[in-house]
Structure 1
């Protein structure tokens, strides 16, 4: 059920109150204009949340990349969490994961024609993307995990809310997982409740819609995750992709370094049909070590045949260079890609909103004149640069 993964540490509530004072004061400074939010002359869409941990940001950003990549030059700008580099870094096909972080690395590998950059200072990153010679033809910038980064004023602000960690039932850090008060949700133009069960009833949608207490200008969507074919993690093994149904009858070692592995474990139980699932869980964005490799080897060797290792795409990027894994592990390790599916037949409505915003506010005059025909973009970027209009004004 909704909110079933939430745990409140009541003894920490006094500290949450103090934390809330600090966050609330910062937000008030932005609301009063003392701290400035900056607009840009290129369409900017922010995707983020107000909770600690995974809410499905990466698959939703990838959904937007898929939607826009054939009609515009897309750039993704991320902080690059836990990367070893500093400042602005523009990724290419050979940029290692430790320089940009696992999620940007994943997106660059999947979408090589998309510009992927990291910069803790998002305004500086946008300036570099739109002015540097290699990337100045950028048509649209997707900000990954930037809902709290209020120095940028996006044209569309998308807030993701995990169905299993609904913000309406949560509380502030450190007692809960909220990074800012619940009132922060009102900055969103679009709210998406993610990771929904596929069997939600009409009454479930109505109850959730009412409980979120959104403003009339805010649009609410529901998405679920769909699993794709399993991909071999190590290319040198000669393995090919296999359907997820191939795990039926196998014992599964679920290897994750993500914030919320519970739902994935529950979903795999249905495919494995009561076979044993051993969950080996590490902290989010965990950098795997030789000691971890030994632990993985030992756990896998103790499992009965037939068996398989299943991990996530995000973990795949950090496992590829891990030394010390046994051949048996390497030959049987697969990543499980996921994609977003909109519910209630609202995919077309969402797509039209995004494409319309990009075209109306594009600095590319050719792109701005096009109809919604999804034809490849023209390389000509001449013309005037209209100001970015907020989604709320459209």
Structure 2
């Protein structure tokens, strides 16, 4: 069925490919205008639609750089109902600023977080009071030329056919990986053999000047939310978990939880899904159907930003019934040191 659907959609992907190829050609030849800034501007992005780990990567960069530079992050604010340039406040709603910018601001209140669909306009405003700007999900925003670009390519995608939208999930040509200063092969297996690494590098076929790292997602202990006490509680083999997620690719998260708990039920929604009261009723009903005293709901940090508006609906549940599972980017082969060194070298070189 999937193969048949892709066959039907292939002509549309062909048209889409012609359009983006023409667009990239015009930017490459200087026919379309692009803007470059004097301050350090780092872009984090991907070629496919969602699910490569951009948010954990952006958070890693924030942790690495926030103590050395006056830093701002700039995102489009996917799914927000507002428009134009806005500074993000911890008290904003997802509908105002989007879930990922709100997540960044709540986790790192000391930095500036802003949203603007026009990244050039956004950086123009931020450069007055900042030394460094991180652009989240802006690899295709070619009206702006970054000083340094980090491209995330999901490990599994290297071994699959790379089809453009709508037949596949690539929003840009795979050849555009050559524009990146650094490529991070993300969501690779935590146990990665030398043979598997070699196969992935052959599939990637990066240029010799491109820095390439292998990363994987690692999870911290779930944190209890919707209570006055924020506490981390490890998962045990006696736990019965209901996973509620609205992310692009929850498969790795599901696999991780299945290996940690007694049983796992899932409620999956589309990426960036704006929850409704009916959704929350479904969540609570399924939770109550679990026949165990040792049960709770797990969600992601991004999903939590969209669930917070319904905190009162969880009042009928035990105080520790809802928990958020933090995730972070980790590197293979002590790659964190090399990654940090390259990023710092670029930023200091631009500022000095």
Check whether the contact 1:296–1:325 (CA below 8 A) recurs between aligned residues.
Answer: no
Partner of 2:50: 53
1:311 aligns with 2:302: no
Partner of 2:348: 359
Question: In the alignment, which of 195, 204, 207 is matched to residue 187 of structure 2?
Answer: 195
Structure 1 residues 240-279: aligned runs within 5 Å? 240-243=231-234, 246-272=235-261, 275-279=262-266
Deviation of the 1:329 alpha carbon: 6.6
Distance 1:211 1:8, change over 3 A: farther
1:299 aligns with 2:286: yes
Partner of 2:216: 224
Determine helix, strand or coil for the equivalent of 2:134.
strand
Tell me, in whole angstroms, the C-alpha distance in 1 between the residues paired with 2:160 and 2:38.
35
Partner of 1:69: 66
Deviation of the 1:9 alpha carbon: 2.5
Gaps of 5+ in 2: none
Tell me, in whole angstroms, the C-alpha distance in 2 between the residues paired with 1:267 and 1:8.
31
Deviation per CA, 1:28-57: give whole Å up to 9, x if none: 111111111111011000000011122100
Check whether the contact 1:83–1:100 (CA below 8 A) recurs between aligned residues.
Answer: yes
Partner of 1:151: 143
RMSD over aligned Cα, in angstroms? 1.8
Please, what TM-score do these two structures have when normalized by structure 2?
Answer: 0.95
Question: Matched residue pairs, number?
Answer: 348
Check whether the contact 1:85–1:100 (CA below 8 A) recurs between aligned residues.
Answer: yes
1:20 aligns with 2:17: yes
Check whether the contact 1:80–1:101 (CA below 8 A) recurs between aligned residues.
Answer: yes
Determine helix, strand or coil for the equivalent of 2:42.
strand
Please, what TM-score do these two structures have when normalized by structure 1?
Answer: 0.85
Tell me, in whole angstroms, the C-alpha distance in 2 between the residues paired with 1:8 and 1:233.
42
Partner of 2:124: 127
Partner of 2:28: 31
Check whether the contact 2:77–2:116 (CA below 8 A) recurs between aligned residues.
Answer: yes
Tell me, in whole angstroms, the C-alpha distance in 2 between the residues paired with 1:329 and 1:28.
57
Partner of 2:178: 186
Tell me, in whole angstroms, the C-alpha distance in 2 between the residues paired with 1:279 and 1:264.
11
Tell me, in whole angstroms, the C-alpha distance in 1 between the residues paired with 2:218 and 2:97.
27
Tell me, in whole angstroms, the C-alpha distance in 2 between the residues paired with 1:206 and 1:159.
19
Determine helix, strand or coil for the equivalent of 2:175.
helix
Check whether the contact 1:161–1:167 (CA below 8 A) recurs between aligned residues.
Answer: no
Structure 1 residues 154-173: aligned runs within 5 Å? 154-166=146-158, 169-173=161-165
Stretches of 4+ aligned residues off by more than 4 angstroms: none
